[in-house]
Structure 1
Amino acid sequence: MRFTAIDFEKANNDSCSVCSIGISVFENGMVIYSDNFLVQPPGNEYLPLHTSIHGIAAEDTCTAPHFPEVWDLISEHIEGQIVVAHNGCTVEFPILESLFRYYEMEMPSYQGICTLQLSQQLFPYLNNHQLSTLAELLNLNFSEKLHHNSQYDAEVCGLIFLRMHQYFKLNSSFQPDHKIKKEAVKKDFFSETFASKKIDSSLIYPTEKPKYENHYFYSKKVVITGEFTAFPKQRNKLAQILFDCGADINTSISKNTDLVLVGTGAGPKKMEKISALSIAVMNEEELLGLIKDFINS
């Protein structure tokens, strides 16, 4: 399945005042493209409240392209595609329509899915259905510091949709085939289902320096995939060791990845991508040879 997750940030209350567009493209369960585009809103006028939310101000977009120019860069990922957005039915999708009307452009066709509405259907017992709440429920990393960065929010939205689709086995209309019982979707269940692969946000978006700066992993962009015998359902423990050794831990494979640590059960699609991008791989035996002194420290 291929789909595109989007997120917009606005400069003011005008629906056409988009100042940032985040986009993350998923295919076969992986992020294959992700980017953020600054957009100069009409008049480049900002309200202080909006700037306080996302940190973007008029000086940041005074030389940025207008929406039609940005559309040329992202249209292939939206037109004719499945497009996912959190609160998309009341925010992103109506904003898209407003932008196309304002610039007198032809409105593209796409299949829009609102993860807010879908999550309300699947998890009616939650107190709220914010991105952070759903990320916690589904054992996804969520950084409050990066919240309202449109690229980050788009990627989190995409991951939430992906996990809902994987667990509930949504039909072709992206709806559950059967009524969901509350007891079937308790938070503890998702913890057992997804927690073994979760890596703490503090390791992915660190604020501290690594302990060792002369290690092999120092400054290398590293992705972990598969299961490791020495770390049964303990990916976060492995990630902590790698971080201490200076690794820049990533959760998705891209052309910028330096090394992929491959355990058992790594998905074939992921291995195909690694091969296509000619990324170096390391198995568990090689890995343990490099970190054996740190496992019990």
Structure 2
Amino acid sequence: MNFVALDFETANHRRESVCEIGIAIVQDGIVREQKSWLVRPRDNWFNSMNTRIHGIDATKVADAPEFDELWQSVSGYFEGANVIAHNASFDLSVLRHVLAQYELPFPELSYACSLQVARRAWRGFPSYGLSALSQRFGISLNHHAAGSDAEACAHIMLRAMEAHSLSHFGDIEEAFGLRIGKLYTQGYIPAGRIRPEKKKKPSLHSMPLDLSRVSKSHPLYGKTVVFTGSLRSMSRAEAQKSVIEAGGHSSNYVNERTHYLVLSERVFLNIEQGINNNKVQQARRLTSGGNGVTLISEKEFLNLLQHEVSGGS
């Protein structure tokens, strides 16, 4: 069981804005070493929200090397390696983007996501975030310090493998139904679920609407609602249908007419870790420009939806 756990911290919303790299090296099932490096992003621009999360700003990396210089000494850890990260889709995307920015070739590596593994290794936990899992398993963590995050990620993966009696990195696919991702010179294959063929989800247009109880007193009446992420309580189409039946409007796009952006649990947790998808970024841009978009959780949306009304319009 040999692998390298990886964590990136970024200066702003751009994936290539690396400001810190952390790794933990696992050999024969034991965390042998932890390393981290500060990195100066090419434009050295830091978003204040990112700085609040990891504590790094432009002054702290002023004398640090840029990524292309640092990569000369760290690339050897990744070439031909098995790599893991907690929410690997983010960290591997950061790696691809920053390599592309400096026109550097991709290393040849295999990778897996410890977040996806944890969700299948231990069913029913309230949270699978790095902080929550570290606290549950007594793993030391200085959250959002890249080296500490990488080491915690390594320990979580090792515990999951031990819990399911796995001894090789490649066992992840069969044991957890997860495809191991690949990065190679010409491109990449994303890690993810090995899915059986799924039935087509019902669309909003295929569902009958009941507008008999539309009321102007409903809090969603006249409001435009956008959803991001997969809801636990209902499908996207069912959620859109419920908004329309409450007298509101449903859209797939965040713009000046949007009143509410409903966040799935996963999107909400990602925001806490500083990961904002395109809809969240657009909502925040509009809010800073004076067009208020209210971000609400799935639970808050359900509370609005179940609001008692005084009767028809």
Q: Please, what TM-score do these two structures have when normalized by structure 1?
A: 0.56
Give the letter for the 1:174 counterpart: I
TM-superposed CA distance for 1:4, in Å, is 0.4
1:267-278 map, 5 Å:
none
1:191-202 map, 5 Å:
none
Cα deviation 1:150-174 (Å, max 9, x = unaligned): 0000000001111111121236341
**Where does structure 1 lack aligned partners over 5 or more consecutive residues?**
180-297
2:91 corresponds to = 92
CA distance in 2, matches of 1:62, 1:22: 18
CA distance in 1, matches of 2:149, 2:108: 23
Cα deviation 1:210-233 (Å, max 9, x = unaligned): xxxxxxxxxxxxxxxxxxxxxxxx
TM-superposed CA distance for 1:86, in Å, is 0.2
TM-superposed CA distance for 1:70, in Å, is 1.4
TM-superposed CA distance for 1:118, in Å, is 1.1
Task: Count how many residue pairs are aligned between Structure 1 and Structure 2.
Answer: 175
Larger radius of gyration: 2
Q: Is the 8 A contact 1:39 1:61 kept in 2?
A: yes
TM-superposed CA distance for 1:135, in Å, is 2.1
Q: Is the 8 A contact 2:121 2:176 kept in 1?
A: no
Cα deviation 1:79-120 (Å, max 9, x = unaligned): 11010100012x101111111111111111111110011112
2:103 corresponds to = 104
Q: Is the 8 A contact 1:168 1:176 kept in 2?
A: no
SS at match of 2:59: helix
The one of 148, 153, 159 aligned to 1:152: 148
TM-superposed CA distance for 1:6, in Å, is 0.7
2:139 corresponds to = 141
TM-superposed CA distance for 1:140, in Å, is 2.8
TM-superposed CA distance for 1:36, in Å, is 0.8
1:30-45 map, 5 Å:
30-45=30-45
1:69-84 map, 5 Å:
69-84=69-84
Cα deviation 1:256-278 (Å, max 9, x = unaligned): xxxxxxxxxxxxxxxxxxxxxxx
Are residues 1:121 and 2:117 paired? no
Give the letter for the 2:121 counterpart: L
Distance 1:8 1:115, change over 3 A: same
CA distance in 2, matches of 1:178, 1:38: 34
Identity %, equivalent residues: 33
| RMSD after superposition | 1.7
Cα deviation 1:118-155 (Å, max 9, x = unaligned): 11222231222101222233x23234xx1100000000
Distance 1:178 1:55, change over 3 A: closer
**Where does structure 2 lack aligned partners over 5 or more consecutive residues?**
178-313
1:169 corresponds to = 165
Q: Is the 8 A contact 2:22 2:36 kept in 1?
A: yes
Distance 1:71 1:174, change over 3 A: same
Give the letter for the 1:118 counterpart: V
CA distance in 1, matches of 2:148, 2:139: 11
CA distance in 2, matches of 1:147, 1:9: 11
1:1-297 map, 5 Å:
1-89=1-89, 91-137=90-136, 139-143=137-141, 146-170=142-166, 172-175=170-173, 177=175
CA distance in 1, matches of 2:49, 2:175: 42
Q: Is the 8 A contact 1:169 1:176 kept in 2?
A: no
SS at match of 2:34: strand
SS at match of 2:43: helix
Q: Please, what TM-score do these two structures have when normalized by structure 2?
A: 0.53
Q: Is the 8 A contact 2:121 2:163 kept in 1?
A: no
Distance 1:66 1:178, change over 3 A: closer
CA distance in 2, matches of 1:178, 1:6: 21
